[in-house]
C-alpha cells in the first residue's frame, strides 16, 4: 500500500491488527516531539489522518473497483485525551460510511493500551473516482 509522503516524514511503518486492518506505527523521535518528552499534537493528528487514508485505500481496493480513487479531506475534528509520551504510538482508521463520493472515518491513536486512546478523530473525505480521479 502506498502511503502519502508525510508518512515518511513522521517515520511511519505499516502493521496490521488481528483482522488485517492497517495499523500505523509512529516511533518517538525528535521530529515528532512537542514539549520535552511528549508528542506534538500535529504529529498525532497526521498519524490518525494517514491511518484513516490507509483504511480507506484498503476498503476501496477490497471493493475491486476504482483503486485509483483520490481521497481528499473535507473535515477533520481531533479530540486530544492525554499527552502522548516518549514511546511508539499506533493508530487505526475505522470506516463508518463508504459511499460513492463521500466517506466518514473515525481514527484512534494509542500507546500502551488500545482501550485508552491518547486521541480520537472524526474525518470526512471526498472520494474522486473514475475519470475524474485522473484529472
CB neighbour list of residue 1: distance below 8 Å, 6 or more residues apart: 14, 22, 54, 57, 58
> Domains of the chain: which residue ranges?
5-134
* Residue owning grid cell 484529472: 135
Range list of β-strands (E), the chain? 13-16, 22-26, 70-80, 89-98, 102-110, 119-128
The set of cell numbers assigned to 82 is: 492525554
Confidence of residue 65 (pLDDT cuts 50, 70, 90): low
Residue 23 is predicted with a pLDDT of 96
d(CA 9, CA 42): 12
pLDDT exceeds cutoff 90 at 52: yes
| Half-sphere exposure at residue 80, Cβ-oriented, CA atoms within 13 angstroms | 14
Residue 131 is predicted with a pLDDT of 64
* Span 25-48, pLDDT tens digits: 999 998 898 889 899 999 999 999
Confidence of residue 19 (pLDDT cuts 50, 70, 90): confident
Query: Model's pTM, two decimal places?
Result: 0.91
**CATH code at 5-134:** 3.10.129.10
Amino acid at each position: 500500500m502506498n502511503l502519502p509522503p508525510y508518512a515518511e516524514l513522521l517515520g511511519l511503518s505499516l502493521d496490521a491488527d488481528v483482522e488485517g486492518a492497517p495499523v500505523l506505527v509512529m516511533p518517538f523521535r525528535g521530529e515528532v516531539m512537542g514539549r520535552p518528552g511528549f508528542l506534538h499534537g500535529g504529529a498525532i493528528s497526521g498519524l490518525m489522518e494517514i491511518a484513516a487514508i490507509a483504511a480507506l485505500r484498503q476498503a476501496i481496493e477490497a471493493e475491486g473497483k476504482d483503486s485509483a480513487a483520490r481521497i481528499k479531506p473535507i473535515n477533520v475534528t481531533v479530540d486530544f485525551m492525554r499527552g502522548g509520551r516518549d514511546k511508539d504510538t499506533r493508530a487505526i482508521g475505522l470506516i463508518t460510511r463508504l459511499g460513492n463520493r463521500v466517506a466518514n472515518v473515525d481514527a484512534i491513536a494509542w500507546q500502551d493500551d488500545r482501550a485508552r486512546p491518547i486521541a480520537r478523530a472524526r474525518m470526512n473525505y471526498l472520494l474522486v473516482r473514475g475519470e475524474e480521479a485522473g484529472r
